[in-house]
Amino acid sequence: MAPEISTTSMLFLLVFVLIPVSLSYMYALNLSGSITWSSFRGAAQLFLIGYLLTFLFELPPLVGIPIMLTVMITVAGFHAAKKGKGIPGVILLIFGILVTVEVVVLSMWLGFGMIEFNPEQVIPMSGMVIGNSMVAIGLALERMKSEFNENHSRLLAALSLGATPKEATQPIIKRIVRAAMIPNVDGLKTIGLVQLPGMMTGLILAGVSPHLAIRYQIVISLSIFVAVSVSAMLVTVLTYRRFFNKNLQLTRVENDGSV
């Protein structure tokens, strides 16, 4: 069982925050404010979510779990949508993908008896899947806007030569999906060798045997990998047509969100 961390020890961690703040100030990175605010905001959010989870864990599973999953998907959807600002209907598409991925993964976990339908297991594991899917979707959308803007002339040339939107954008789509998946592919290659994953470490600290902790980590790691892959592919394949109007003419999505 892990020892309890005192409030004094937690406050002492603030000293470490001063290190990157000082480096930012020394090298004029203009990140001191962001680092300080992010640190305090992150800590505050974690404390608040701790109280919220304590409350949700006391509710019936059919009540607490849907409430928390709805909050997670809503926050993740709006955050990822910022990366796709200016793309028509992107927010609804993101919500659809996140819901679909979560339902499929959760059904697999429950269907094969990997976890039980209780808040203590469903909420933390679902949070990891939703969070990583959010990052993958955001990366794909951001890369998509960049690729389409940088290759605008090439795409116009391909279309003028008779290529369909799908044919003209196929190389771009491949690069986008690949870029969104590479971090997770690299993570799987070094998992357990370079770092001990968070879920496995947490379970071991809680007193669970390493073998059982490893089984849970394999489940969540592979689930995250599949969720990220599917999310990146779906958002890319279903979004690229939105860079074309109803006459299949290429449009441009600017960084400020205008089309």
Residue 256: strand, helix, or coil: coil
pLDDT value, residue 254 = 60
Give the pLDDT band (50/70/90) at residue 138. Answer: very high
Mean pLDDT of the chain: 87
User: Using CA atoms, how far apart are residues 97 and 61, in angstroms rounded to an integer?
Assistant: 24
Whether residue 170 is predicted with pLDDT greater than 50 in this model: the reply is: yes
pLDDT at 238 exceeding the cut of 70 = yes
Can you say how many angstroms the Cα of residue 105 is from the centroid of all Cα atoms in its chain?
15
Q: What is the residue type of 149?
A: N
- The overall pTM is greater than 0.85: no
**pLDDT range class, residue 1, cuts 50, 70, 90:** low
Which residues in 94-172 belong to E strands, given as ranges?
none
pLDDT tens-digit readout, 73-123: 999 999 999 999 888 889 999 999 999 999 999 999 999 999 999 999 999
- The single residue listed with the structure tokens 């939107």 is 165
Q: How far apart are CA 243 and CA 147, in angstroms?
A: 11
The H or E element containing residue 13 is none
Coil, helix or strand at residue 62: helix
Q: Is the pLDDT of residue 223 over 70?
A: yes
Annotate the chain with three-state secondary structure: CCCCCCHHHHHHCHHHHHHHHHHHHHCCCCCHHHHHHHHHHHHHHHHHHHHHHHHHHCCCHHHHHHHHHHHHHHHHHHHHHHHCCCCCCHHHHHHHHHHHHHHHHHHHHHHCCCCCCCHHHHHHHHHHHHHHHHHHHHHHHHHHHHHHHHCHHHHHHHHHCCCCHHHHHHHHHHHHHHHHHHHHHHHHHHECCCECCHHHHHHHHCCCCHHHHHHHHHHHHHHHHHHHHHHHHHHHHHHHHHHECCCCCECCCCCCCCC
Pick from 143, 141, 142, 145: nearest CA to 94:
141
**Comparing C-alpha atoms, which of 171, 114, 182, 125 is closest to residue 147?**
171
Query: CA angle at residue 51 from 223 to 9, to 5 degrees?
Result: 95
pLDDT tens, position by position, 36-68: 898 888 888 888 988 988 998 899 999 999 999
Range name among 24-28, 43-47, 56-60, 243-247 with the lowest pLDDT average: 243-247
Residue 49 has a pLDDT of: 87
- What does the pLDDT look like over 193-209, one tens digit per residue? 666 677 888 888 788 89
